[in-house]
Structure 1
Amino acid sequence: MKKRELGKSGLYVSELALGTMSFPNNEVEVKEIVDTAIHAGINFFDTANIYDGRKNEKLVGKALKEHREKVILATKVGNKLNPDGKGWTWDPTKNHIMEEVKHSLHRLGTDYIDLYQLHGGTMEDNIDETIDAFESLKKEGLIRQYGISSIRPTVINRFLEKSTAISVMMQYSLLDRRPEEWFPLISGSGASIITRGTLAKGYLTMEGQEKANVSNGFALYKASELQHTVNSLNDEVDDLHAASIAFALLNDTISSALVGARTTKQLLDSIVAYEKGCPAEQLEKLKNLTEMHQYNEHRI
């Protein structure tokens, strides 16, 4: 599997990354999924401190223990679980970040985090304080690099402008091309994009047409528009899953396409799709069948 540099960090990540949010709460099953990913050449794994009530980091850390020095491990901070475990509040303060990283390190069973990401952000945040926390953690050696997970251009722009962040995680796919408007800004800041929602909640897989037929819509597509677009995409290619992953990696600003998996089979489907690829001329035709929407809110 090919690798790309994450920003200008010197960290090289597999073009296909594994998002762990949908992992089952079962150590044996998680280990099987992770081992399959490692065997296929995936070296980039993404989790977050609040996934599955903090259980996800523990499962991921245990499954990756024997592979730790060979992988790039990413997690997130900023959302704080409520005491009752139901919902969370936003807390980007330095005190919270400096304290929460210790808990993540403990749950992950590691001495350092390769990529620590701010899990959201608002224009009301004291961004200087937040960035100071990340920079302090870098100096202490507890994290190697940091980035942000957000779809708000205003927040992303301010964070990149004031920091040495190397990555932006954004929802991006054939069905959600809104980030394309901001590719130049992100790459010009020396950062790169990690795509999430690469398969658009399954609309860009073999089951996509069936899902679209009972959907209320997706991103800025209304239900009827979504159905028409998904059907048109499937008419154009014989493997929309493969084409969608290839599309997500088309632009050099993108370092890695994140896919999720609840089962080993789901992961294998994405690995096979990645390896199959799609010709550039077909990808151009697919682009012409989709809309390049823009963010209506949080604009610079």
Structure 2
Amino acid sequence: MRQNRLGQSDLFISIIGLGCMSLGTEPAQAIRLIHAALERGVNFLDTADLYDQGLNEELVGKAIAGRRQQVILATKVGNHWHPGQPGWFWDPSKTYILQAVKDSLRRLGTDYIDLYQLHGGTIDDPIDDTIEAFEQLRQEGVIRYYGISSIRPNVIREYVRRSNMVSVMMQYSLLDRRPEESVLSLLQQHNISVIARGPLARGLLTQNGVRNIPSEGYLDWPAPELADALQRLADYADASGLSLTALALRYPLAHPAVATVIPGASRMEQLTENLSAQTAPPLTREQVNALQRITRANVYAQHR
């Protein structure tokens, strides 16, 4: 599978990664999915300490045992929880990050993390304190690089200005084009890569999506408008000789700031469909323009 360089790092990641959050909690199935992804060219796995209160990291760790050198491993920190207790609270402090990374390393069965990401962030955070933690972990060799997972433009701008991050993970799809408003161009200008999560919009941008539209719609898309857009996208995909899934995964990758898309999968059929997009050709400028006419640009209402 083709790989892209992640920002200014020396990490080269597959253009389609695996978002591990949706793997489930059954070990054999989760490990089977991860192994299948690795065997089909995926080398980028994204998890977080929050997912299933650490169990997801444990499953990823078991799956990559003996295969660590094949994997660019990403996890996240910032949501402070106590094992066995419900709920969590936001904690981007240096003290917590330096403590939490040890637990992630143990669960993942590794002595280093390729990409350590802040799992959120607000403008009121102690941003310099957070950056100090990441920089210390880099110097110690515990992490190779760091980034943030955020859709907030005001937070992203601060990390661009103050930090040496190599990536920003954000939701980006044909149905959520908010990053196009300003953030993508900013990150491209600073050679910081985007990791596009949610590229299939909770399964709406798949062949069954038009039959599973929630009554409340999706983001700022009312259900009737969403149904019309999805049908038009499906028709365009058919006319292009592509699956809607392939079209949806290729759309974020058409922007030069985007290094990878990370759809999730809970079944082998989903994984196979997602990875089939790697054989689809990159979208042309004409195709991108056509898709943007079918959908519409979303605008950030908060966190500007």
> Above 0.5 in TM-score?
yes
- Counterpart position of 1:211: 212
Q: Distance in 2 between matches of 1:258 and 1:44?
A: 8
Question: 3-state SS of the aligned residue for 2:86?
Answer: coil
Amino acid at match of 1:233: L
Question: 3-state SS of the aligned residue for 1:161?
Answer: helix
Alignment map for 1:61-76 (pairs within 5 Å) = 61-76=61-76
Amino acid at match of 1:273: A
- Counterpart position of 1:88: 88
Alignment map for 1:164-175 (pairs within 5 Å) = 164-175=164-175
- Counterpart position of 1:154: 154
Q: Give me the TM-score of the superposition, normalised by structure 1.
A: 0.96
Residues 18 and 44 in structure 1, CA contact (< 8 A), matched pair in contact too: yes
Q: Which moved more, 1:117-126 or 1:218-227?
A: 218-227
Alignment map for 1:5-84 (pairs within 5 Å) = 5-82=5-82, 84=84
Displacement after TM superposition at 1:167 (Å): 0.3
Unaligned runs of 5+ residues in structure 1 are none
Q: Distance in 2 between matches of 1:140 and 1:192?
A: 24
Question: 3-state SS of the aligned residue for 1:87?
Answer: coil
- Counterpart position of 2:224: 224
Residues 254 and 282 in structure 2, CA contact (< 8 A), matched pair in contact too: no
Q: Deviations over 1:233-287 (max 9, x none)?
A: 1121222111011112001100000110111221111011332346523333112
Amino acid at match of 1:160: V
Question: 3-state SS of the aligned residue for 1:200?
Answer: coil
Question: 3-state SS of the aligned residue for 2:262?
Answer: strand
Q: Does residue 1:288 correspond to 2:290, yes or no?
A: no
Backbone CA RMSD of aligned residues: 1.3
Displacement after TM superposition at 1:83 (Å): 5.6
Displacement after TM superposition at 1:10 (Å): 1.3
Amino acid at match of 1:200: A
Amino acid at match of 2:71: V
Q: Distance in 1 between matches of 2:185 and 2:193?
A: 10
Q: Deviations over 1:117-151 (max 9, x none)?
A: 00000111110000000000000000000000001
Q: Summarize the Cα distance change of 1:191–1:279 in structure 2 as closer, same or farther, 3 Å threshold.
A: closer
Q: Which moved more, 1:22-31 or 1:80-89?
A: 80-89
Q: Summarize the Cα distance change of 1:223–1:68 in structure 2 as closer, same or farther, 3 Å threshold.
A: same
Q: Does residue 1:199 correspond to 2:204, yes or no?
A: no
Question: 3-state SS of the aligned residue for 1:259?
Answer: coil
Identity, % of aligned positions: 46
Displacement after TM superposition at 1:71 (Å): 1.0
Q: Distance in 2 between matches of 1:282 and 1:190?
A: 25
- Counterpart position of 1:143: 143
Q: Distance in 1 between matches of 2:124 and 2:15?
A: 34
- Counterpart position of 1:276: 280
- Counterpart position of 1:240: 244
Displacement after TM superposition at 1:22 (Å): 0.8
Q: Which moved more, 1:272-281 or 1:171-180?
A: 272-281
Q: Distance in 2 between matches of 1:3 and 1:108?
A: 24
Q: Does residue 1:185 correspond to 2:190, yes or no?
A: no
How many positions carry a matched residue from both structures? 298
Q: Distance in 1 between matches of 2:282 and 2:215?
A: 27
Q: Does residue 1:260 correspond to 2:264, yes or no?
A: yes
Q: Distance in 2 between matches of 1:279 and 1:35?
A: 29
Displacement after TM superposition at 1:190 (Å): 2.4
Residues 242 and 277 in structure 1, CA contact (< 8 A), matched pair in contact too: no
Unaligned runs of 5+ residues in structure 2 are none
Q: Summarize the Cα distance change of 1:278–1:6 in structure 2 as closer, same or farther, 3 Å threshold.
A: closer
Q: Which moved more, 1:104-113 or 1:85-94?
A: 85-94
- Counterpart position of 2:133: 133
Amino acid at match of 1:119: H
